[in-house]
Amino acid sequence: SEEYVGVVTLPNQVRQKAVKKGFVFNLMVVGESGLGKSTLVNSLFLTNLYTDRCMPDVSEKIARTVSITKSTVDIVEEGVNLRLTVIDTPGFGDAINNNDSWRAAVHYVDQQMEKYRRDEIGLNRKNIRDNRVHCCLYFISPHGHGLRPIDVNFMKALDQRVNIVPVLAKADSLTPKETRNMKAKILTEIDQYKIKIFQVPDCDHNNDPFRQQDLEVKRSIPIAVIGSNTVVERDGRRVRARAYPWGIVEVENPSHSDFVHLRNMLIRTNMQDLKHTTHHVLYENYRINCLCKNPC
Ligand code: GDP
Ligand code: MG
């Protein structure tokens, strides 16, 4: 298969370890209700990760997410076992008390850090299960004018705890020019409010195709995405798309959205970076904070 799961970029030693132990990656989706979080996750994982399995009923309606839910899928890629877990959070926006939904997400992230910390102190340190959130996709509405106060607050509450990757949702509702403007506005505001988002590291191998991919991912942030649970026939291929009276928007067509960049980033080129930052920066901060609060 030509799909990689980020394992091709692993150094040999890490790779050998991963082959033996299996590889774990935990992804959380956060943002306003109705922005297409559950749909995108389905699109990301079913189109690619299930390609040679039976295709689940794609027309199946996604139920509204009402509490934090975890779904895990096991895949084998290049001889490496990969266990992907998606943490879907209930959206805010329609709830009477919006604060509750972001507190729940923040609490979840903290809880996983705490579990890991306790496991590290415990007796069975060799077999710790890593449930920490390695990446958080933050969904931004295409209908606003940049970030709203709740987006700023939410991202500020999360950015010391988890790698945030901002996502411009439902990009099919914007023209290419509107998308460019919206992206620029969002980046300016992220900078202005000093929100820390995940930085795609500069590639150290400068000749191979990953460098190009890294650059493309970098340039596409905030990543404009389109999700769909509908598969249509296009030139003999079955593609995931949204059908409108005026035509079809293909989820994986790079001229329609950055969906492919997002997928590449998560499962092809930056999975290891996201995990590395989680462990060596974010978790380290968490641990040190605990030590400061509870000196023994
Ligand atoms: P969630 O609340 O963020 O999980 O949103 P859902 O995934 O449940 O989607 C809410 C609605 O938006 C559904 O009717 C989806 O079909 C629709 N939707 C999802 N993704 C897209 C998208 O990329 N573009 C458009 N136009 N609609 C979308
Ligand atoms: Mg949902």
Which residue from 199, 171, 163 is spatially nearest to 258, judged by alpha carbons? 171
> Treating both helix axes as pointing N-terminal to C-terminal, what angle do 98-121 and 283-293 enclose, rounded to 10 degrees?
80
Distance 36 CA to ligand 2 centre (A): 7
Torsion angle, CA of 225/189/25/6, rounded to 10 degrees?
Answer: 70
pTM of the model as a whole: 0.87
- Nearest atom within ligand 1 for CA of residue 31: 3
- Among 42-51, 80-89, 251-260, 264-273, which is the least confidently predicted range? 42-51
Q: What is the pLDDT of residue 77?
A: 61
pLDDT for 187-236, tens place per residue? 999 999 999 999 988 766 666 667 777 888 888 999 999 998 888 888 88
Q: In angstroms, what is the span from residue 250 Cα to ligand 1's centroid?
A: 15
- Residue 58 has a pLDDT of 44
What ipTM score was computed for the predicted complex, to two decimals? 0.99
Residue 181 token pair:
């403007």
Query: What's the rounded Cα separation, in Å, for the pair 165 and 11?
Result: 24
Best CA proximity match to 164, nearest among 114, 102, 215 = 102
Give the helix/strand (H/E) hosting 74.
Answer: strand 69-77
Q: Among 57-71, 113-127, 183-197, 212-226, which stretch is predicted with the lowest mean pLDDT?
A: 57-71
Give 50: exposed, middle or buried? Use CB within 10 Å, 0-12, 13-18, 19+.
Answer: middle
Q: In terms of pLDDT, which residue wins out, 204 or 276?
A: 276
CA of 102 to the centre of ligand 2 (A): 14
Question: How many residues can be counted in the chain?
Answer: 296
Ion ligand 2 nearby residues (CB, 5 A): 37-38, 65
Do residues 270 and 217 make contact, with C-beta atoms less than 8 angstroms apart?
Answer: yes
**Residue, of 3 and 103, whose pLDDT is higher:** 103
Q: Which position has the token pair 């030590």?
A: 291
